[in-house]
Amino acid sequence: MKTIYLLSFLLLFVLAPLTWGQIPHTLSYQGILTDDSDVPVPDGNYNVTFRLYEVATEGTSIWEEAQLIAVANGVFHVILGSVVPIDLPFDNQYWLGITVGGGSELTPRLQLTSSAYSLNAANSENTGGYPVSSTPSPNTLLPLDENSKLPVEVLPPSKLVKVGGINSGESNTITGTTNLQILSLQIPDEGQFDVILSAHLVAEISGDGTGRYDFNITRGDGGPSVGRGWWRPGTSAGLYAVTINFNGFDADVSGPVTYYLVGKKFDAGAKDALVFISGLNATWVEK
């Protein structure tokens, strides 16, 4: 009488956005085939019939297939379901019966472990109590696509994010208390945006300075200020220069829109200031 020892019994399945009909209904099985003396049978090919039952003894099989398997040093490996698909719900306990050649079925039958019952989870219409649906709706699970990602059509539309800027080496001289346009930057896109702005410049005076200078980023020519920086030089002889950096933010803006970097004397008695532009930059995000 031949004997089969269980080496491993595991479930091979694909967790992907597949329907039950698409999931491979196969089980991978490996064992050792020996004779009555527990000596591995000679190498070769053997006809083996595999059956699944709902009972440990007797009863009628609910699935069956025969395969010609290769045995080496007594060890064999087979994919059950490769001949006859295992179309079972795996919602009950199953046992595997094995018959070699024309002999009797080997005993005892092998009880399937819990791993095989993952097929039941794949077959279920609910996971963790939540139904699976290809249509987005509250309290449901969406299946992944063939790339293991959410389908593009169910994702919210991506927002437009752009960056633009102007860098210039030109200079301007602030001589009065009225805003002087130093630089402009246009956002050409249509739509509603949140805009983040940054200004970078160098201001220079010659001689002692006690007055204050204001710099603003305005929306439109003469429009509201959306960012502000200022400079009050200390008392110093000779050339006096400073780098000024400041940011601005403008919410719910309708594009296209133009921003201006402007500067003026806050104190009328301040000295004239020479301004060099390092840059005016913007990042706008679609609402």
Read off the pTM: 0.48
Between 146 and 13, residue with greater pLDDT: 146
Q: Which of 57-61, 117-121, 180-184, 282-286 has the highest mean pLDDT?
A: 57-61
Is 232:202 a contact under the CB 8 Å cutoff?
no
Please tell me the least confidently modeled range out of 9-23, 102-116, 148-162, 182-196: 9-23
**CA dist 55 to 64, 81, 180, Å?**
15, 20, 93
Rounded to the nearest 5 degrees, what angle is found at the Cα of 272, between the Cα atoms of 266 and 277? Answer: 90
Rounded to the nearest 5 degrees, what angle is found at the Cα of 111, between the Cα atoms of 105 and 114? Answer: 150
Between 210 and 187, residue with greater pLDDT: 187
For the chain, which residues make up each domain, given as ranges?
3-126, 161-286
pLDDT at 235: 65
Q: Residue 34: which pLDDT band, with cuts at 50, 70 and 90? A: confident
Query: Domain 3-126, CATH 2.60.40 — does that match?
Result: yes
Mean pLDDT score, 197-213: 84
Second-level CATH architecture of 161-286: Sandwich (2.60)
Cα–Cα distance for residue pair 165/143, rounded to 1 Å: 43
Please tell me the least confidently modeled range out of 18-27, 104-113, 151-160, 181-190: 18-27
Nearest by Cα to 3 from 23, 31, 44, 43: 31
Which pLDDT tens digit goes with each residue over 59-101?
999 999 999 999 888 888 888 989 998 888 777 889 999 999 8
Which pLDDT tens digit goes with each residue over 104-121?
898 888 887 655 555 554
